[in-house]
Chains A and B, each alone.
Chain A
Amino acid sequence: MHILLIEDDNDAASYVIKGLKESGHVVDRASDGEEGLYMALDSNFDVLVVDRMLPKLDGLNLIEKVRKEKTDIPILILSALGEVDERVKGLKYGADDYLAKPFSFSELLARLEALSRRNQPEASSSLLELGDLKLDLLSRKVEREGQVIDLQPREYKLLEFLLRRPNQVVTRTMLLEGVWEYHFDPQTNVIDVHISRLRSKIDKPFKGKQMLYTERGAGYALRYDE
């Protein structure tokens, strides 16, 4: 992925750049709003990462200007203002996702991956498929190896969320936001238990072919290895 990072804090930027490069991405950096706007409009990036409080041009205004020219480029805001109302404001200005500082790097990475794939055309069929796991959106039927799996409504929703992001890391926060629509962090490991329940239905009965992986320190990923 070709990423433009618009961030004025040199140290923070260098850590993020290092992390992103090690994860195999190409990163350009702008250190103020005007430079960021110029670069964003000048070349083609797969995703923009924008700090909100920037010198010369504020992050939100920058996004507004970028949106006028490039309607479909994914934009993620990084901001120290992390409350729900602030994130709503950010999304209103045209951002696609919002991550509050301090953030965990794996969270940023997972969200960037999700954003960049968002632009890939989604299968028009009503069938979500990964390996031998099939989910029919119309009949709400889930099958693996041709066997029907009986899922609770929430387990179904969780699986759907994961199947729409195959081979991607999905963080706990992303699941809470995407599946439960909660914007707070529970202090207990509620999500882990949901995942292990789902795993016991889609993985356990099918010995030797794990699909739902735990990504240490990051989250989960649904993968199918041939």
Chain B
Amino acid sequence: MNNPFNLASFRLIFIYTMLLSISVGLILTFLYFTSARDIEIEADQKIIKKVEDLNNVYLRYRGNGLISYIRRETSRPSLDIYRLYDANNNVLAGNVTEPNEIKVNDDGWIEFTYQINVNGEEEIYYGRGRDLVTPVENYRLLVGRVVNNEIKLKERFFYSSLWSIILIIFLGISGGYILSRNFLKRISDINITSKKIMDGNLSERLPTTKGKDELNQLSSNLNEMLDRLDSLMTNMKQVTDNIAHDLRTPLNRIRTNLEVTLMSNSDVDQYKKSIDDAIIETDNLIKTFNSILSISKVESGASDLDKSVININDLIMNLFDLYEPITDAKGIILNHDVDEEIKIEANNNLLSQAIANLIENSINYGSSNDAPAITIGAKKNKESVSLWVSDNGVGIQENDKKKVLERFVRLDSSRSLKGSGLGLNLVNSAAKFHNGSLKLLDAKPSGLIVLIEIPNS
């Protein structure tokens, strides 16, 4: 399984931790310089003052004066350090043993250690001071102070800073690890589920929790997407089944017809008739195929179906003109109902085909009235254009209305009539292609109104 260290979230936390420890380090350094270092400087200044004082003592009283001054100062306990040498390096006075590990800094400060016998045990002390060399007798005086506490403080400061930074890094990284692992767990759950879905288990859904974080939103979005895909797939499967059925049936008829004709000792006329029938059947098959293809093309939103500004009045009048003779021959009254000039951006051929399908539907299925009538109409609304075809036939039952828009769906009442069950589906696709909608409404007192609404612009 995935390593949490490889996760982006962990890397983010790591970088953040590093930045945080650097900041903490900087803050501690700043604190050190504003507090501890100040005390040190103050103490250093006292020593400088003392060196000046002692210099004055010497100038006035010479070596003896210094000795008595030092004796007086060292008679009571203090943190001050004195050690006076003569020109031959003999110790004349002082309160500390011989200093070791002497280190002379560039600025004249001397750092050293010395030993003190405490209860029979030698202890090392740290000192810091300056030399005062007298002009006449060439005495050398080391003046300083014990800096054990300061060093301890510094050390403590250093170590506590170090530890806090280590702690921050440790806590940050382990926290990041735990957080990442939780995050990873959820990601991995999503991964496992998506793998299952990939393997074909389309009913699986990604796990979601109550929260509203990004991961949850992502999961629910993906779930909704899956729902949609699922319904599309089901739809598609149904369509495929329908295609298989609707194409197989005529193919079967053709095949049987040809086979039986071949088997029987028919004469030329019978052969001709069989072939004629087969041609008619294949023509219908081709029509069905073409319809499926146009619907797919329209539904895929093919951008190469270009739109242009078309005149709806012309569109309706042309269709009226095309269908008027056939309705007339069938005793159906065909009306057109457009009052004003309507222009719209659309694909003329597609929209014409859609209306033509509706007119044909009305002719075939909506003319059961004693005085059948069909109306093709259009109206300009505020933000849309309505196009409709209405008839005064039997109409469509409310619960069938949704069904008839699907591919290959033919209501039982119309099964005996010729048709592919694709007409309304194409109308629906055409409406969608124009960003419009399709509605099936009841006409008064009877009949069906199919209404296409296309938004203006």
Q: Does A14 contact B (CB under 8 A)?
A: no
**B326: nearest chain-A partner, CB-CB:** A193
Q: Does A26 contact B (CB under 8 A)?
A: no
Q: 8 Å CB contacts to B: which residues of A156-192? A: 180, 182-190
Q: Does A204 contact B (CB under 8 A)?
A: no
Q: 8 Å CB contacts to A: which residues of B397-428? A: 418-420, 423
Which residues on the A side are within 8 Å of B276 (C-beta)?
217
Q: Does A140 contact B (CB under 8 A)?
A: no
**B353: nearest chain-A partner, CB-CB:** A184
Point out the residue from A82, A102, A186, A187 that lies within 8 Å of B419, measured CB to CB: A187
Q: Are the C-beta atoms of B325 and A197 separated by less than 8 Å? A: yes
State whether A84 and B326 are in contact (beta carbons under 8 Å apart), knowing that A186-B356, A187-B419 are contacts in the complex.
no
A199 to B177, CA, bound (A): 89
Name the distance in Å between B263's Cβ and chain A's nearest Cβ: 24
Q: Are the C-beta atoms of B293 and A184 separated by less than 8 Å? A: no
Q: Are the C-beta atoms of B290 and A82 separated by less than 8 Å? A: yes
Q: Are the C-beta atoms of A85 and B326 separated by less than 8 Å? A: no
Interface segment among B73-81, B107-115, B250-258, B279-287: the answer is B279-287
**A157: nearest chain-B partner, CB-CB:** B321
A188 to B286, CA, bound (A): 15
Interface size class of A (residues with CB under 8 A): 20 to 34
Name the distance in Å between B275's Cβ and chain A's nearest Cβ: 10
Q: Are the C-beta atoms of B360 and A180 separated by less than 8 Å? A: no
Q: Does B297 contact A (CB under 8 A)?
A: yes
Q: Are the C-beta atoms of A190 and B326 separated by less than 8 Å? A: yes
State whether A193 and B360 are in contact (beta carbons under 8 Å apart), knowing that A83-B294, A187-B287 are contacts in the complex.
no
Q: Are the C-beta atoms of B318 and A83 separated by less than 8 Å? A: no
Q: Are the C-beta atoms of B360 and A188 separated by less than 8 Å? A: yes
Q: Are the C-beta atoms of A102 and B286 separated by less than 8 Å? A: yes
Q: Does B126 contact A (CB under 8 A)?
A: no
Per-residue B-contact encoding for A181-214, CB less than 8 Å = 1, 0 else: 0111111111001100100000000000000000
Name the distance in Å between A152's Cβ and chain B's nearest Cβ: 8
Q: Does A118 contact B (CB under 8 A)?
A: no
Q: Are the C-beta atoms of B321 and A154 separated by less than 8 Å? A: yes
A183 to B305, CA, bound (A): 13
Which residues on the A side are within 8 Å of B293 (C-beta)?
82-83
Q: Are the C-beta atoms of A83 and B297 separated by less than 8 Å? A: yes
Q: Are the C-beta atoms of B352 and A85 separated by less than 8 Å? A: no
Q: Are the C-beta atoms of A194 and B290 separated by less than 8 Å? A: no
Q: Does B302 contact A (CB under 8 A)?
A: yes
Which residues on the A side are within 8 Å of B244 (C-beta)?
none
Q: Are the C-beta atoms of A194 and B352 separated by less than 8 Å? A: no
Per-residue A-contact encoding for B313-338, CB less than 8 Å = 1, 0 else: 00000100111011011000000000
Q: Does A44 contact B (CB under 8 A)?
A: no
A182 to B354, CA, bound (A): 12
Which residues on the B side are within 8 Å of A104 (C-beta)?
279, 283
Name the distance in Å between B370's Cβ and chain A's nearest Cβ: 22
Q: 8 Å CB contacts to B: which residues of A92-138? A: 100, 102, 104
Which residues on the A side are within 8 Å of B322 (C-beta)?
180, 182, 186, 190, 194
Q: Are the C-beta atoms of B325 and A194 separated by less than 8 Å? A: yes
Q: Are the C-beta atoms of B302 and A193 separated by less than 8 Å? A: no
Which residues on the A side are within 8 Å of B89 (C-beta)?
none
A188 to B365, CA, bound (A): 13
Interface size class of B (residues with CB under 8 A): 20 to 34
Name the distance in Å between A198's Cβ and chain B's nearest Cβ: 10
State whether A186 and B360 are in contact (beta carbons under 8 Å apart), knowing that A102-B286, A180-B318 are contacts in the complex.
yes
Which residues on the A side are within 8 Å of B360 (C-beta)?
186-188
Name the distance in Å between A46's Cβ and chain B's nearest Cβ: 28
Name the distance in Å between B355's Cβ and chain A's nearest Cβ: 11
Q: Does B349 contact A (CB under 8 A)?
A: yes
Q: Are the C-beta atoms of A193 and B325 separated by less than 8 Å? A: yes
Point out the residue from B302, B329, B356, B418 that lies within 8 Å of A85, measured CB to CB: B302
A53 to B420, CA, bound (A): 30
Which residues on the A side are within 8 Å of B286 (C-beta)?
102
A193 to B323, CA, bound (A): 9
Q: Are the C-beta atoms of B290 and A85 separated by less than 8 Å? A: no
Most buried by A among B304, B325, B326, B357: B325
Name the distance in Å between B130's Cβ and chain A's nearest Cβ: 99
State whether A184 and B304 are in contact (beta carbons under 8 Å apart), knowing that A83-B293, A190-B325 are contacts in the complex.
no
Which residues on the A side are within 8 Å of B357 (C-beta)?
187
A223 to B448, CA, bound (A): 44
Per-residue A-contact encoding for B267-303, CB less than 8 Å = 1, 0 else: 0000000001001001100110010011001000010
**A86: nearest chain-B partner, CB-CB:** B304
Q: Does B451 contact A (CB under 8 A)?
A: no
Name the distance in Å between B316's Cβ and chain A's nearest Cβ: 13
Most buried by B among A85, A185, A190: A190
Which residues on the A side are within 8 Å of B302 (C-beta)?
85
Q: Does B13 contact A (CB under 8 A)?
A: no
List 9 other contacts, CB 8 Å, given A84-B349, A184-B352, A187-B423. Answer: A82-B290, A85-B302, A154-B321, A183-B349, A185-B290, A190-B323, A190-B325, A194-B322, A217-B276
Q: List 27 A-B contacts (CB under 8 A).
A: A83-B293, A83-B294, A83-B297, A85-B304, A85-B306, A154-B321, A182-B322, A182-B353, A184-B349, A184-B352, A184-B353, A184-B356, A185-B290, A186-B322, A187-B360, A187-B418, A187-B423, A188-B364, A190-B322, A193-B325, A193-B326, A193-B328, A193-B329, A194-B322, A197-B325, A217-B276, A217-B279
The list of the 5 closest CB pairs from A to B, nearest first, reads: A193-B325, A184-B353, A85-B304, A193-B326, A190-B326
Q: Which residues of B contact A (CB under 8 A)?
A: 276, 279, 282-283, 286-287, 290, 293-294, 297, 302, 304-306, 318, 321-323, 325-326, 328-329, 349, 352-353, 356-357, 360, 363-364, 418-420, 423
